[in-house]
Each structure stands twice: as C-alpha cells, then as structure tokens.
Homo-oligomer: A and B are copies of this chain.
Amino acid sequence: MNTFGLIFRLTSFGESHGGAIGGVIDGCPAGILLDTDFIQSELNRRRPGQSDLTTSRKEPDEVKFLSGIYEGKTTGTPVGFIVHNTNQHSSDYEDLKNVFRPSHADYTYQSKYGVREHRGGGRSSARESISRVVGGAIAKLALKKIGISVVAYTSQVGTIQLNRPYSELNFNNIEKTPVRCPDLDRANQMIELIQRVKSEGDTIGGVISCVCKGIPPGLGEPVFGKLHAALGSAMLSINAAKGFDYGMGFAEIHKKGSETNDLFYRKANGKIGTKTNHSGGIQGGISNGEDIYFRVAFKPVATLLKKQITVNNLGEEFILEVKGRHDPCVLPRAVPIVEAMAAMTILDYYLINDGKLHPFIDKQSKNNC
C-alpha cells in the first residue's frame, strides 16, 4: 500500500524515471502556514549531489503544490504535490532491462507484478522518499505549533559508533557536517571511512538515531497500534532499513529489571516524570511525556562499482558491472527521511488521540496526568 497514516495520510506515487514523484496529503489540519522555504530546505537535505559523500547526480527536486492551500495556509482538503524528474539517464539502464541486480528489488517486483519498470529501480528507487520528506516537512510545521520537535542524526557508519547518550550531544552540529553526525570528531572518522569505501567501489551501512521532544503523555493505541510499533513500521518502510529499536533496545537488552526500570517521581513543576528513561518515552505503547528516542539500522547500498555475478530473467548468468553515479552510503541523506517518517507518525497519533477524552470524561479525573 502506498498510503501511510490513519488521519494524517500521505499517499505517494512515482518512479525514478517516470514523469514525476508526488503525493497527496489528506487529513492535514487546516490553518497550517505552508512555509515553502522550509519544505524545500528539507528536500535539499535529501537531495543527491549535496556533498561528495553522496551520488553526484544533480536533481533540483523542486516541489510544486497543486491543491489544498489558500492564501498560504492549508484548508483541510487534500494537498497534492509533484516533483518533476529532470535528470534521468534512462540509457544507463538499458543493459539491465532483464537483469536481476543483487540485493535490489528487481527480482521481487518481477515476481509480484509480472512486469517492472527497470530504469533506476522504478518504484523501488530511493527517489520515492521525496514524497515522504514533503509530507514530513508539513507534519513538522504542524507539530511545531504544539511544541513537538523531531531530530535525527547519524550515530554509526560501519564500525564507527557514536556511543554517547543523546543528552550530551549538540544537535546544532548535525548540519555542520555532510555525514550529519553531531559529534564532529566522530563525524570526520565517518567521512573518512565513507570516502575510503567509495574509493574501493564498495558501500557501507550504519545506524541513524532519532529523538522526539515535547510529546504529551497519551499518544499510542494499544494493543496493536502501540506508538513504538507505528514508529517501527514507519522506519522499516524506508528503503534499506534492516532494524529498529527504541529506549534500551538491543544494545542494553542484557540488563536486569532493577537496572532498567524507570522510577517515577514528582518533578519540580509538579508533574510526574521518570528519573531514567530506558523506556524511551513509551510505556505500554503509550507516550509518557519523556523524550522518545529510537535507532534505525541501514544496510550498505546494494549498487557496487565492482563486478558481481548474477542472473537475468531467463536464469542465465550475467556479469554485472555498474557504472554511473551512486551513493556509497545512504545514511547522510536518510537522516531527513527518518525525521519525516517520525513527524508524520507522531502527528497522526496526535490527531487520532485528540478529542478522545473531551467531553466524555470528568475533567478532574485526569488532574495529575
């Protein structure tokens, strides 16, 4: 399905080499000032060619809005938008028409649909994420009005890990380095590694971390729509994602309950909080008001500039030698995509939850929450 969300819904379309990438955002609250500079700046963070860590393809990726906006604000009706594809080299792909590239989606699309658009990966191209970034940028504008922020950064490339807790990081550094890691020393090591791998014609994966602040308690729909299950699904739907964890996650899963339980206390402002946050801001699938933080693992890009042996659609062996412009590492450009999916998920859950209580329940019964 190419629709994401229940109330705030993004429907996405477009292939790498078709006329355009685009989408429809339905259920967007009315009255959001559509800051198109901000939206374009988010697209620019995703755009290829922004540094020598990414593919050298140049695509302006300018978004055009077609509906749902009046006098600069959203009207509550669906926001249609398109981004034209302008820099496709279809001929690059002519030899690959009947070839199944390793660890790409060529074979599975052919299996599922009996037909596929082979140029640039077709629908499975990373260009599909353009729609996500547009949807996410609008979600961020809405979330900003209610005090919620979402920030992601690269926390691992290959074996180079950023192990410090996010509270010790300076998020203002993220955009200062092309690899989008807020620890500038570690960022330099990552950059060096990516350049080395690139020079070998190889690729490298890693981990993106994300922190969401300002989440009110109460978001999440047990039992199947737990907030972290929705975030996990959103993240795993991003191309190349191989894993998701939140709070203590895989990394601390060996610890004991007495080490990981988050004790409640009354904060200075009178509200209830937790002393630690191994829970990652979510308990029983519902936000508890603490920061939400999670990680997403991304595999190495499947397109190598090395020879690989594969088969074509007749099962015949084929020596694959790709030339052209490709990313050695997906992470720097995936940072805004992770943020976009998180922002849409949280806004959707905010809208699902809003109004649940009022006016059906007595006000005083939620006094201390």
Contact = CB atoms under 8 A, between A and B. Distances in A.
Given A108-B220, A128-B223, A256-B202, A263 B12 contact: no
A315 B78 CA distance: 28
Interface string A251-294: 00111111011111110001110100011101111111100000
Contacts of A32: 360
A107 to B, nearest CB: 6
A304 interface: yes
B256 A249 contact: no
Given A225-B1, A243-B253, A103 B272 contact: no
Contacts of A353: 112
Given A2-B77, A14-B66, 4 more contacts: A30-B361, A67-B123, A248-B299, A355-B355
Oligomeric state, in copies: 4
Q: Which of A14, A30, A145, A245 has the most chain B CB within a 10 Å cutoff?
A: A30
Contacts of A204: 256-257
Interface in A207-249: 207, 217-226, 228-230, 232-234, 236-237, 239, 242-249
Interface stretch (A16-24, A55-63, A164-172): A16-24
B67 A15 contact: yes
B26 A11 contact: yes
8 contacts: A2-B24, A18-B68, A19-B66, A68-B123, A111-B366, A111-B369, A113-B361, A265-B309
